[in-house]
Structure 1
Amino acid sequence: MAVRGKAMVPLPTLVRAMRRRTSNHMPSNQPLPSLRRAFSLYDQINLIDNVPEDQIRFKQVTDTGFGVKGVHYEGSLLCVGNLLMSWHPKKLSEVTPESLSIFQTVRPVPEILLLGCGKYIQPVNPELRAFIRSTGMKLEAVDSRNAASTYNILNEEGRIVAAALLPYGVES
């Protein structure tokens, strides 16, 4: 008990000293900076501005397509690194190993394939999962808005990532 009492005695003195020190260096109406914010990874990564010209960045996800660099693309898209192409599947049941066969030849192999399932997350066919695993990629099946957002972040980090996106309006 005596040790605990001694440890608590200097605390009020420390608080008073900190208040005197901050009042000399900072205006009293300005809040103290948050330590959590000061050490955030996202303070080091600019997710909105200064995106390289050749980098794909999804700005809009609609029921019928996607907005990229001021251009609206109708229908499904397949993205690998900073390449963007039209993709023929219109619903998740049309996504097959054949529709993703490009990943048998793409080098370097993306570390992850973000599968945008449309409006809702849906179960992925085990045959399709096995095919994606055989290419060396991991699969993340999410709704298309989250897939596009995750693609932006991972691509900006410089990671090798791919996305197969169905329009947000797709429900089955």
Structure 2
Amino acid sequence: MAVRQRAVAALPTLMRSLRKEAPPRHHTVLPSLRRAFSLYDQINLIDNVPEDQLRFQEFDDTGFKINGVRYEGSLLCVGNLLMSWAPNKFSEITVESLSIFKTVRPIPEILILGCGRYIQPVNPELRSFVRSIGMKLEPVDSRNAASTYNILNEEGRIVAAALIPYGVTS
């Protein structure tokens, strides 16, 4: 019992000495374990993209760079086909501007709508038109639209993207 009492009495002194001798703590952000063990890091899909597969590489306020070629203005991508697209701002996107999807086969499972710099609410008429064709509609800003298109296209999914340049705000 006497040994225990001496140990308990020595505990505060021991704690004080440990605090004084402890090395200073530096706040360092640790890498995410998800990132450290990601399969994406081990298999680099970007370097293994077939030549005929579209890949958005850059974007700016007026256009996009796809497979090493710079394109100005709005673009419509269906699978691995790339077309210039008439709307210059989000308010110009209409059922008529997307009427090509009445004839495209196979029908893409999703249409990624790049709204410019900011996500915009989609006209209910446009939303029901896309749904009537059998596609899902995903409105996002054009930067994320290009990234999402790349990922889904790399996976081999049938995907379409209608993108307005990132600099467009309305």
Q: Same fold (TM over 0.5)?
A: yes
> C-alpha distance in 2, partners of 1:94/1:47?
35
Match of 1:56 in 2: 54
What are the ranges of 5 or more consecutive residues in structure 2 without an aligned counterpart?
A: 1-31
What are the ranges of 5 or more consecutive residues in structure 1 without an aligned counterpart?
A: 1-33
Q: Computing the radius of gyration over CA atoms, which structure comes out larger, 1 or 2?
A: 2
The partner residue of 2:88 within 82, 87, 90 is 90
**Given that residues 47 and 153 in structure 1 are in contact (C-alpha distance below 8 angstroms), is that contact kept between their aligned partners in structure 2?**
no
> C-alpha distance in 2, partners of 1:146/1:35?
24
> C-alpha distance in 1, partners of 2:43/2:102?
32
List structure 1 segments (4+ residues) > 2 angstroms apart after TM superposition.
34-47
Match of 2:13 in 1: none
% identity of equivalent residues: 83
Amino acid at match of 2:65: G
Match of 1:166 in 2: 164
The partner residue of 2:119 within 98, 121, 138 is 121
> C-alpha distance in 2, partners of 1:127/1:45?
42
Aligned-partner SS, 2:48: coil
Mean CA deviation greater in 158-167 or 35-44: 35-44
Give the paired residue count: 139
> C-alpha distance in 2, partners of 1:136/1:86?
23
Match of 1:42 in 2: 40
Match of 2:28 in 1: none
Match of 2:63 in 1: 65
| TM-score normalised over the length of structure 1 | 0.76
- Superposed CA deviations along residues 86-110 of structure 1, whole A, max 9, x for unmatched, are 0000011111111000111111110
> C-alpha distance in 2, partners of 1:37/1:149?
18
> C-alpha distance in 2, partners of 1:41/1:106?
34
The partner residue of 2:144 within 124, 143, 146 is 146
> C-alpha distance in 2, partners of 1:45/1:109?
29
> What is the root-mean-square deviation in Å for CA atoms of aligned residues?
1.7
